[in-house]
Amino acid sequence: MRALPLICAYAAVAPLTLARAEPRRTLEEVSLRKKPGEKEAVVARLAANTPVTVLALEGRWLLVRANSATGYVTRTTVSDPAPPLPGDVQPGKTWSSARKVGGQLVAELYVQVVAPRAELRSAPAADAAPVALAARGSRLAVVDAAGDPAWIHARDEAGHDGWIARDQIDNGASAVVVTGVDLKGIGLSRADAGTRAPLRELSVRADLGIGMRALGMNLTSNAEGGLTNYVLDADAVAATLDVDVALRRAGKAFVAADARVSASDSSPGIDYPGPTAPAGKIAFRTFAGDAGFRIGARARRVFDLALRAGVHYDAFLAADVKNAGMLPRERLLGATLGARVDIAPERSRFTITARFDALVIAGRTQTRGLEDGPSSTARGLWGGLAMRYAVVPRISVFGGYELSRASTEWSGMSARQPGVTRTERIDTAQLVQIGISTQL
């Protein structure tokens, strides 16, 4: 009489029954339950590798018969049906059918979560919306292992369907072994794995920001006079555009290139008080360009550490060469060396970028007839910090702060001020900006 409720349950789910009873085996020790549910009464306990016959599907539960007992077990504790033979009439597609690895159908493939905390996502992207949490040790059924080089399409025991990064799972702890499949590689057989190129992942990010720049000039020389020793400062509206391209291999190493253009405008500009020349305002614009190449590695799944080499161009353009302070138009060009750290924890909406560059070989040219000396030596340091917050997939807002300091030494007779043979100027700039960042 105990089997009567199960027979009635079987009749209730008759529309969901398979076209034919399917012999399978348990993947682990399981409890055969009277009704679907982890807290329902246990009918019997089945050891791993026990043959069972699947009678019906009900949600994430299977109605099975094992020996003389009939009851419910979860789908992921039972092997998938064998692939159909040629000529067989195939039943309708079920949740576990048509899994692909390297273009081939695989009937039995599971992976285990090894990350402390992972999430199934709605799309194969780190900023895609989360679908469900996946705790360490939980097992996922693979739907597609060939659709994306860095992600696995999988389903958890509760039926949630989504994407999980390959570096968060392991395919060696599964109760079902699929020979030749390496889910942490590129889904190839062992014979092919040594002959194919490793995975590469290309990412492109663009930042557009607007803010305020504070400029300062402190010039000293071996002579006396308002044009030979002065301190000037001014504020300017600034806009910047950054583009960053990174190419990551299957491991931790990556190479990247970045480029930046920045422009600012100040009017009425610098206030020159005199007394050597009549007091007045000096409106100006600045333009800067920077390009570099980085090589680095990811550490602890949080930090991207890289060394950088690049070139830097900077221009100070007085609106009128015949200005009150006789400030020349200037151009700075040189090579830079530096370092960069990106703090980007997995599954976090926040990222932080810190960078530092030094001008190692450079020269500064000035308007002819207004040179502070016939030869110049320039040095400089730049540092910056930016924080981004992802508001929607692929779109972030950011705020940043930058500080730069450049020093230039001129030697020889000054054309701008007679009697000066040695001049040094220190330029400082601070930039505060906000903007939008997009991941292409």
Could you write out the three-class secondary structure of 174-201? CCCCCCCCCCCCCCCCHHHHCCCCCCEE
Q: What phi and psi values does residue 408 have, to the nearest 5 degrees?
A: -130, 135
CA distances to 110, 325, 369 from 277, in Å: 81, 7, 17
- Taking alpha carbons only, the member of 209, 189, 113 closest to residue 156 is 113
Domain positions in the chain: 4-77, 100-193, 200-439
d(CA 394, CA 352): 16
Q: Residue 275's pLDDT is what?
A: 65
Tell me the one-letter amino acid at 44: A
Note the Cα 180 to chain centre separation in Å.
Answer: 30
d(CA 61, CA 158): 10
**Residue 327 half-sphere exposure, CB side, CA atoms within 13 Å?**
33
Q: May I ask the CATH class of domain 4-77? A: mainly beta
CA distances to 148, 283, 414 from 195, in Å: 19, 63, 66
378: how many CB neighbours lie within 10 A of its CB? Answer: 20
Q: Residue 23's pLDDT is what?
A: 66
d(CA 255, CA 390): 24
Residues of the chain with pLDDT under 50: 1-21, 84-102, 104-107, 172-199
Q: What is 100-193's CATH superfamily?
A: SH3 Domains (2.30.30.40)
Q: Residue 277's pLDDT is what?
A: 66
What CATH number should be reported for the domain whose range is 200-439?
A: 2.40.128.100
CA distances to 24, 51, 69 from 3, in Å: 21, 19, 8
Q: Residue 107's pLDDT is what?
A: 44
Note the Cα 36 to chain centre separation in Å.
Answer: 42
Sign of the Cα pseudo-torsion (102, 108, 112, 117, in order): positive
3-state secondary structure (DSSP) of residue 89? coil
3-state secondary structure (DSSP) of residue 55? strand
Q: Residue 82's pLDDT is what?
A: 58
Residues 6+ apart with CB under 8 A from 194: none
Beta strands in 192-279 (DSSP E): 200-221, 230-249, 253-272
User: Do the domains 100-193 and 200-439 sit in the same CATH topology, yes or no?
Assistant: no
d(CA 277, CA 115): 69
Q: Residue 119's pLDDT is what?
A: 87
Note the Cα 146 to chain centre separation in Å.
Answer: 22
3-state secondary structure (DSSP) of residue 43? strand
Q: What phi and psi values does residue 325 have, to the nearest 5 degrees?
A: -95, 5
C-beta of residue 176 within 8 angstroms of C-beta of residue 387: no
For 319, the token pair is 């609106």
